[in-house]
Amino acid sequence: MGFHMILMSCFIVLVFSCSTILASANIVEHTFHVQNITVERLCRKQVITTVNGQLPGPVVLANEGDTLLVHVINNSPYNMTIHWHGVFQLRSAWADGPEYVTQCPIMPGNRYTYKFMITRQEGTLWWHSHSSYLRATIHGAIIIRPRYGRSYPFPKPYREVPIVFGEWWNANVVDVVDEATASGGIPNISNAFTINGQPGDMYPCSSNSTYKLNVRHGKRYLLRIVNAAMQSILFFKIANHNMTVVAVDASYVDPYCTDVVVVAPGQTTDLLLVADQRPGSYYMAARPYQGSKQIILNNSTTTGIILYENTPSSKPIMPTLPDTNDNSTANAFLSNLTSLMSAPFWTPVPEAVDERMFITIGVGLVQCGRKMNNASCVATFGQRFAANMNNVSFQAPTKLSMLEAFFNKVEGIYTTDFPLQPPLKFDYTNPNNSMDRSLLMTTKATKAIKVKYNAIVEIVFQDTSIGSVENHPMHLHGFDFHILAQGDGNYNPFKDHMKFNLINPQIRNTVAVPVGGWAVIRFRANNPGVWFIHCHVEVHLPWGLAGAIIVENGPTPSTSLPPPPFDLPKC
């Protein structure tokens, strides 16, 4: 009798535990009203497109295991989509969001509901528009906390604070990119950077609205950094304070103490900050890391203020930021992080590689066009700028999304002959090649790479001097990947292979390929669908620095892509 009572008690505890875990997985529901509003920045009023009238947009807060249900109502004058940057979208590729890749756009006056589960991810991700330049003002943080019963693998913070970097134009951002597209030239640079939507004290008419974070002496704060800027990698510092990096791109890292953080467009970084300095007022500041003197970007500094409680007002202390072309500081930070092997969802580096790709990145040219003459095109040699990978400049389809074409086996939307090697081997980072017309000319096409389900894929990204050497934050939708190594100059498969970290490399969804250098990533293709891969420097996206990786269906229904939602937007 005693044994049966014990058995029954264990059963009750087990049922209660299971029901508690199941109950902890919730449906998190939001409604995004996309609309134009008028705001005032930099001494002038400007019409911008926002979600729910906010800049940045609303924070999406969830626990690992939750299902997100986001109703998007497009009351703006523009076609648009929302991308959930870094979310795996396991068997929910239809909700990923890149325009004409996984869905057709939500047209003005229409609505669409995104539904997907967040699984095996904790930390900070973000959401943004994936149409034109709209992500300049349509973006926000995604905060994923551990599910019930689990805790952070670091000391519990007193408070968690999203810090979202942005970029501001004294113009309609859609007009900015449309004007550049019409001439084949470079979009005008921004007028300011922002922290949580505000430019800060270094800009005119901005001091009264500078973002302020009030802190209590001795308390620990988790700063969830998102770089939503359109063009620039940013250096970030807080005067007189060190920070500890505990996660990047929603993957935990070995705690890394630093006084400067480098975050590329598309990347996130979680920092622990202890308010342990003399009570007072301290600037947090961000300025661009350009890497190349040939690139003209906004060279200003945005600021926020760390203000200790019960402190009399005083001028904040300013940190000393690295020079904008400080490659050594940038590369040291970006290459020294390592993954936390004891983290709950840590995965080891896949070993046997099935697919190897070597992808060159550059800014080239395409013909001016039949409807235009060379006098109308303002790029080099009277042509149009077109960024490319392996000399293919991505051309988005317009009749059907690539994912619909893949699922329904519709031909003529894309081809699967994207070259896995550059068509011409040359001295990739030699500046003498930057204006070589035979290397500059490229072609527009909708090409994809097709891989088997569960294949191990390794990609070498190689920056080139074509146009100019640059830092390229390459983002892969649908997957995290291990960054095995990165370095300067031309990748050497014999010598540089010895630099691979196969034990605990950092795990990300966006890799900042060094200026005039290379980076190697590896991942398991266990997520069926069509996945966009592109540079997150926004000027390069309309120019075509993008492509797609198609992962075939697996052998069972649970490893295959399910049918599209009935209300998927039509082209």
What does 17-83 look like in DSSP terms, one character per residue? HHHHHHHHS-EEEEEEEEEEEEEEETTEEEEEEEETTBSS---EEEETT-EEEEEEEE-SSS-B-EE
CA distances in angstroms from 310 to 177, 211, 283, 313, 571, listed in the order given: 46, 18, 17, 9, 57
Which tokens is 501 given? Answer: 């970290």
Q: Quick one: average pLDDT of 31-60?
A: 98
pLDDT band at 375 (very low <50, low <70, confident <90, very high): low
Is a pLDDT exceeding 70 seen at residue 434? yes
The confidence band for 248, taking pLDDT boundaries of 50, 70 and 90, is very high
Read off the pLDDT of residues 455-473 as tens digits, 9 standing for 90 and up. Answer: 999 999 999 999 888 889 9
Model confidence at 1: pLDDT above 70: no
For residue 245, which of 266, 267, 228 has the smallest C-alpha distance? 267
Rounded to whole angstroms, the Cα distance separating 400 from 412 reads: 10
User: How many helical (H) and strand (E) elements, i.e. helices and strands, does the chain have?
Assistant: 6, 32
Q: pTM for the whole thing? A: 0.94
Flag whether pLDDT at 536 surpasses 70.
yes
State pLDDT tens for residues 492-528: 999 999 999 999 999 999 999 999 999 999 999 999 9
Q: Tell me the mean pLDDT in the region 328-347.
A: 96
> Do the strands 60-63 and 139-145 form a parallel or antiparallel pair, or are they unpaired?
parallel
Q: Is the pLDDT of residue 21 over 90?
A: no
Quick check: 403 and 414 in contact, CB under 8 A?
no
pLDDT at 153 over 80: yes
Mean pLDDT of 320-336: 94
Give the Cα separation of 425 and 174 in Å (integer).
37
Q: What is the mean pLDDT of residues 78-102?
A: 98
pLDDT band of 4, cuts 50, 70, 90: very low
Assign residue 332 a region (left: φ > 0; alpha: ψ between -120 and 50; beta: otherwise).
alpha
Q: Worst-scoring range by mean pLDDT, 155-169, 526-540, 551-565?
A: 526-540
Per-residue confidence (pLDDT) for residue 15, from 0 to 100 = 37
CA–CA separation, 390 and 347 (whole Å): 30
pLDDT at position 230 over 90: yes
- pLDDT grade, residue 11 (50/70/90)? very low
2: region left, alpha or beta (phi > 0 left; psi from -120 to 50 alpha):
alpha
Taking the C-alpha atoms of residue 129 and residue 203, their distance in angstroms, rounded to an integer, is 27
Q: What is the pLDDT of residue 23?
A: 47
- Average pLDDT of the chain, as a whole number: 93
pLDDT of residue 295: 67
Q: Which residues are paired to 283 by β-bridges?
A: 305
Greater confidence (556 vs 13) lies with 556
| pLDDT surpasses 80 at 10 | no
Predicted local confidence at residue 372, as pLDDT: 57
Question: What's the confidence (pLDDT) of residue 539?
Answer: 73
Q: How confident is the model over 97-113, as a mean pLDDT?
A: 98
Say which residue, 426 or 20, is predicted with more confidence.
Answer: 426
Query: What is the pairing mode between strands 67-74 and 384-389?
Result: unpaired
| CB neighbour list of residue 286: distance below 8 Å, 6 or more residues apart | 165, 193, 195, 234, 235, 236, 301, 302, 303
Name the percent of the chain lying above pLDDT 90. 86
pLDDT, residue 376, reads 81
pLDDT at 374: 59
From first CA to last CA, the distance across the chain in angstroms is 68
pLDDT above 60 (res 193):
yes
